[in-house]
Amino acid sequence: MPKFLSKQKVDLYHEQGYLSPIDVMPEDEALAYKNRLEQAELDYPDQINAENRNNAHLSFACLDELAHHPVILDVVEDLIGPDISLWGTVLFIKEPQSAGFVSWHQDATYMGIKPHEYVTPWLALTPSNRQSGCMSMIPGSHAGRIREHEETFAEDNILTRGQAIAGVDESKAVDLILRPGQMSLHNSEIIHGSQPNCSNNRRIGFAMQSYMPPPARQVLGENYWLKIRGKAFPGDRITLARPRFDMDPGGIERRRLANDNWASILYQGANQKRAY
Ligand SMILES: O=C(O)CCC(=O)C(=O)O
């Protein structure tokens, strides 16, 4: 019995490889989270910035709360079942009138996790639309295989390796337009990307990348996951923990551990490395 989604919506997610939009919270609540995040950026600029954008939920309470939001988790449970761990999070912030973009890619390519049955919710804290550089998906593209990615390391490409799939039929792309407080969810193999932010507002998205069901296993790097709901997974090596408050020293250390592990996974075999 689904907790939040209808059976039709669950089927639609599996058919097209994504689901959007889903109402998570009212706009004023999303604005309150945005304000807390922006205060944290002001108070700890070296801890949250374009280069230090990964796994901030391990040391900042507002992001930890979002990663445990009951609506997000009920939707995730409808898609992957009741035993859920979180691999990590990424703050995808595009500043007003900025050139940063995300090339067509499939998340599963460099995550070192098998099988690929995991899901990424992307929560908007500001309007995400064509002008501000929302995500676009190629419906059904998860049903094939992992495509070849060229590692461009292009300056304005905000992916780790600037990895890009060539020859995507862009006429099939669907824009995921979200108001603050809405989320999309996408499958780890779907081809997706986003354009620069041409608006005068920040485009802030919080990607919970990704929630894992028990069959998922880290086959590259260490198995550092945060237990979220249900039973622990057999073989979990280090279970990360929630921060007790912003900049909890234990949380900072666990974030460092998780980020170092990510870097060793995401850049494995790459001939260049960036700061994120
Ligand atoms: O925020 C973006 O524009 C891209 C995010 C993305 O690629 C992802 O969440 O997998």
Q: Is the CB of 18 under 6 A from ligand 1?
A: no
Give the sign of the dihedral formed by CA 44, CA 46, CA 48, CA 54.
negative
89-101: pLDDT as tens digits: 999 999 999 999 9
Q: Tokens standing for 197?
A: 């932010």
- Show Cβ contacts of residue 10 under 8 Å, excluding neighbours closer than 6 positions: 2, 78, 79
pLDDT attached to residue 271: 78
Is residue 257 included in any domain, yes or no?
yes
Please check whether residue 2 lies inside any domain of the structure: no
Ranges 35-39, 76-80, 157-161, 212-216: which has the least confidence: 157-161
Structural domain contains residue 88: yes
> Does residue 276 lie within any of the structural domains?
no
pLDDT by residue (tens digit) across 30-72?
999 999 999 999 999 999 999 999 999 999 999 999 999 999 9
Helix 70-80 vs helix 7-16: angle between axes, to the nearest 10 degrees?
70
Average pLDDT over residues 126-133: 98
pLDDT at residue 275, rounded to an integer = 78
**CB-side exposure of 221: number of CA atoms within 13 Å?**
24
CB distance 123 to ligand 1 below 6 Å: no
CATH of the domain at 154: 2.60.120.620
In terms of C-beta density within 10 A (0-12 exposed, 13-18 middle, 19 or more buried), how is residue 70 classed? exposed
210 lines ligand 1 (CB under 6 A): no
pLDDT above 70: residue 203: yes
Query: Does residue 189 have its Cβ closer than 6 Å to ligand 1?
Result: no
Q: What is the residue range of 124's domain?
A: 7-266
Residue 1 in any domain: the answer is: no
Contact, 117 vs 217, CB < 8 A?
A: no
pLDDT of residue 267: 84
Q: Tell me which residue has its CA closest to atom 6 in ligand 1.
A: 193
Residue 173 lies in a domain: yes
Residue owning the nearest CA to atom 7 of ligand 1 = 193
Q: Enumerate the β-bridge partners of residue 179.
A: none
Q: What is the pLDDT of residue 236?
A: 67
Q: What pLDDT does 266 receive?
A: 85
Q: Is residue 274 part of a domain?
A: no
pLDDT at 91 (0 to 100): 98
Instruction: Using most ligand atoms within 8 A of CB, pick from 91, 192, 202 the residue to mutate for ligand 1.
Output: 192
Mean of all residue pLDDT scores within the chain: 94
Residue 268 has pLDDT above 70, yes or no: yes
Q: Can you give the pLDDT at residue 1?
A: 80
- The residue to mutate among 19, 86, 92, having the most atoms of ligand 1 within 8 angstroms of its beta carbon, is 92
**Cα 222 to middle of ligand 1, angstroms:** 23
Total structural domains within the chain = 1
Q: Report the candidate in 87, 86, 40 with the shortest Cα–Cα distance to residue 62.
A: 40
What is the 3-class SS of 107-169, one letter each residue? HHHHCCEECCCCEEEEEECCCECCCCCCEEECCCHHHCCCCCCEECCCCCECCCCCEECCCCC
Ligand 1 within 6 A of 102 CB?
A: yes
Task: Output the pTM of the full model.
Answer: 0.96
* Smallest CA separation from ligand 1 atom 10, residue: 107
Domain presence at residue 174: yes
251 Cβ inside 6 Å of ligand 1: no
